[in-house]
Amino acid sequence: MVSSINTTGSISGSSAVTFTTDPVTRRKYVTGHVIVRFKSPNDGGLSVSSDAVRQAHARLGAKVLNDFTTGGLTGLQLVQLVNGTDVQTAIREYQADPDVLYAEPDYAISITPDETGPVVRSTGTLQIASIPDDPLFSNQWSLDNTGQAVSGITGTLGADINATPAWDISTGSNSVIVAVVDTGVDYNHPDLAANIWTNPVDGTHGWNFVANTPNPLDDNGHGTHVSGTIGAVGDNNLGVAGVNWHVQIMALKFLDASGRGSTSNAISAILYANAHGASVISNSWGGSGYDQSLKDAIDASPAVVVCAAGNNASDNDIIPVYPASYTSADIISVAATDQNDQRASFSDYGPGSVHLAAPGVNIQSTYSDGNYMYMSGTSQATPHVSGVAALVKSINPNLTNVQIKDIILNNVHVLPSLSGKVSTGGRLDAYKAVFAAEASLLPVANFTGNPKTGPVPLTVTFTDLSTNGPTAWNWTFGDGNAVNATVQDPVHTYLTPGNYAVSLTATNKAGSSTTMKTNYISVTVGPPTVTAISPTSGTTSGGTPVTITGTGFTGATGVKFGSTAATAFTVGNATSITATSPAGTAGTVDVTVTTSSGISATSSADQYTYVVVPTASAKVGVFRSSTGTFYLASSNTNGGGTVNAFTFGLPTDTPIRGNWSGHGATVGVFRPSNGVFYLASSNTNGGGTVNAFNYGLPTDTPIAGNWNGQGTTVGVFRSSTGTFYLASSNTNGGGTVNAFTFGLPTDTPIAGNWNGQGTTVGVFRSSTGTFYLASSNTNGGGTVNAFTFGLPGDVPIVGDWSGSGSDTVGVFRPSTGVFYLASSNTNGGGTVNAFNYGLPTDTPIAGNWI
C-alpha cells in the first residue's frame, strides 16, 4: 500500500525535482508540474490541437511534458511551468479558461511501509500430495490454510481463498496479461521468469516511468512481492506458488527505489497497460486525495483495476483512499484478512466503498534478488484478487472487466467478521469464482463426421467436438430425418443421393451456439444393394420368376444368377425387380444387379439355390377304378418292369400326378362328388401326408402343372365353357387363379413343359386324334403346336419320356391296354415306344416316380 509523502525523486526521466506541500489539502505535489485536461469536441469545446490550447500554455510559460491523448485520454496533458509561475496560480489560470475541463497538481505517491518479515531463500524440496510441489507452499496459508502456524501464528482450517479446488478447473493461462503498477518486478527471479510478459515489438518486459526507460527492474522489492502472489510459477519444485501458475506479468514501474512516484507516472503506467493488452491491473498503492486525471485513466481502461483499500484501519466511506475509492465501474477495492478469517487490524474498510477482503497478513512471496519474504498489508491482499481475476479471464477470455468483477464479488465466502465492513460481507473465494466463470462459458459448437462421402445408403458417425461443456445437443442432418437428432454423437444413415448441410446447436446453462457446415456430406448414387429375393430356390432348368428387393435399382442394365444373365427382368421401381432365372447347375449362387453405378455387393440376402431336376425319364402308370389302386411302372416296357402297386383315394376318383414337393412325382386324385383334390406325399398305401383342399367344380376335369416355375399346382378344365383355371397354390381356392379359354369344351385337357420353359396346357381332340399344345397360359394359348398322334378313341397322357427336360405326348389305347409314347410333338410322334401295361379299363397316368 502507498500514500502521499514529501520527497525528492526522478520523474519521467527528468532531473531531480522538488515536492511542494499544498497549503489546503496538505498533500505533496511535484513543484512546477500541472496536469490539465482540455475539452474535446465531444465536450463542446476545442480540439487539443487548436491554437487556443497552445496560447493557453504560452500565457503561463508552460511546456508540455506528456500528452496522454495518444494513450486514450483526449486533451489530457502534463505540463512543466518554466517561467517561475507557481502551481496554484497556474491551476487558477487554467481553470478560468472555458476550454479547460480541469487542472490539478501532479501529486506525489509512495509506499506506506508494510509489515515485513525476514528474507527467506528457497532451499530443499517439500512434496505435498494434491497440491503444488513448491517447497514453500506449506507457508502459503492464504492459498491453503490447514491450520498451520505461520510466523508463529496458528491459523484456522479453510481460512484461505480456496485455491486448490480452483486449480482443478484452471491454473491460469499465458494468454492473460496482468499489469503490476508498482516499484517494478524482478523479472529475473527464478520463480517469476517464466511468467514475465515480453513486448513482442521490442522484447522488453514493461516500462520504467521513473527513469523513462524500457527497464522496469524492481529496485525496492514491493512490486516483486505483489507479482509472486499473482503469478509465481506453480508446481515447479521451487519457492512459492502464485494464484496463477501460468500468466504473463507486465512490469510497470512508476515508484522509485524508495517507493516514491507521481500521479502523472501512474496515469502513464495505466495507459501503457491499456495499450498493450492487460486484462488485469494490480494497484497496491493509494492516497487520500481525489485526482480526476487518475480516475479518467482508470475509467478508460478495459481491464479489471484491483486497488488496495489502505492500511489506516479507517472507514473509507468517511475518509476515502484513492484510487480504491473511485466510483469507477472497473475497480475492485480490497481489504485484508488474517489467518483466522478476521479483518486485519490495520486494514481499511467501508461497506459502501470497499468491496471484499482477501488474505493480507504474513504473506510469503517472491522478493528481489531471487529471495522470498513475508509481508503484510492490503498491498498483499490486492494481488490475491488480481490473481483470481486472471484465473477467471483464463477460463472465459470473452468476459469483460465488469463481468469479471461481478463474478468475483458475487461469489465471495461470506464471513461474520466482514459483515458491515465490506459491501459483499465476504472474503475472496477463488473456487467459487472460477466455477462461476466456467458456468458463464457459452458452448462453442463443433463436430466432425465420418465418412463424409460415399454411396447410398451412407451411414455417417458424427462426433461432437464442442467445447465449454455442453449438456444438450440438437442436430439437423439436412435430409429431414430427425432420428438421433438429440444424441451427442449420433449415427445417421442417408438414403438419397445429394449434398447435405449439417448443423449442431450445443447448449449449456450459459446458453447455446450453433455451427453449420454446408455441403458437408456428399452421398453418391453408388452401386445397387440387394436385400432380399423371393423365392430363394428354383429348378436347374430355370424359368423361375424371382422378385428382387433392395435399393438403387433405377436404370438397372442387368441381373445375373451367379455368372449367368437372367432370361428376362423387369425393373418395377428403385427397390424392386422381377427376373426370370436362367438354367443353372445344382448349388447356391448370388443374384446381382448391375446399374451404371456398379454391381451390387454379394451377401447372404441375395443367395439363390438351384434344385436338381430329376434326370430320370417319366414312367407310365394306371389307376384301376374297380379297386382304387395305382400301379406305377418302373420302365416304359411291356409289363412295366418292377411295379409299385398301392391304394389311394376312392374307385370313383379321377387320378392326377405332380411333383407336389419338388422331390419327385407323387399321385393325387380329384373327387368329382365334392370337387376336392387329395395330393399324396408318397407313392404308398394311403399316400403318406395328404394335402386335401377344394378347387374347381365337381364336374371339372383335373390337371396339374408347374404353372409359375415355383412347384406343381393343380388346375381344372371346365368342359361346359372350355375354360382352364390354374391355381397358384395347393390350398382351398387355389390362391391367385389364372383363368383362360383354350380348345373346345369336348376336348380332353393335358399339361406339359413342351419346350423346357415352363408348363403350359394343351388339349387332345378325340374326334380327330389331334393334339393342340399352347405356348402360353393365356386366352388362345399363344402360338399353338397342332399335330396328330394316336387314334380318336385313345386317352392322352404327357411325360418327359427321355429325361431331356421337355415333355412329349402319348396315348393309352383302351381297346388293347397299350401305351404309345411319342419322342417328339409332331405328326406321327417321331420314334414311338409302344408297350402293354395295365388293363384296358384302367385310367393312364405318367410321372417321374423316383
Which residues have a catalytic role annotated?
Answer: 182, 222, 379
Dihedral (C-alpha) 773, 779, 782, 785: value to the nearest 10 degrees?
A: 20
Full DSSP string of 422-469: STT-EE--HHHHHHHHHHTPPPB--EEEE-SEEESSEEEEEEE--BS-
Say how far apart CA 208 and CA 214 lie, in whole Å: 6
The candidate with the shortest Cα–Cα distance to 266, out of 288, 247, 291, 248, is: 291
DSSP helix/strand/coil, 383: helix
Buried b (16+ CB within 10 A) or exposed e, 564-583: eebbebebeeebebebbbbb
Say how far apart CA 433 and CA 355 lie, in whole Å: 15
Say how far apart CA 828 and CA 48 lie, in whole Å: 130
Contact 383, 230 (CB under 8 A): yes
Say how far apart CA 397 and CA 390 lie, in whole Å: 10
The candidate with the shortest Cα–Cα distance to 584, out of 565, 603, 570, is: 565
The candidate with the shortest Cα–Cα distance to 115, out of 362, 351, 297, 431, is: 362
With vertex at residue 330, the alpha carbon angle to CA 241 and CA 315, rounded to the nearest 5 degrees, is 85
Max CA pair span of the chain: 162
Say how far apart CA 384 and CA 331 lie, in whole Å: 15
In the chain, the amino acid numbered 367 is Y
The candidate with the shortest Cα–Cα distance to 750, out of 759, 739, 763, is: 763
Contact 760, 776 (CB under 8 A): yes
Buried b (16+ CB within 10 A) or exposed e, 632-660: bbeebeeebeebeebebbeeebbbbbbbb
Full DSSP string of 480-510: S--TTTT-SS-EEEE-S-EEEEEEEEEEETT
Contact 660, 848 (CB under 8 A): no
Dihedral (C-alpha) 179, 180, 184, 188: value to the nearest 10 degrees?
A: -70
Other beta carbons within 10 angstroms of residue 722's beta carbon come to 16
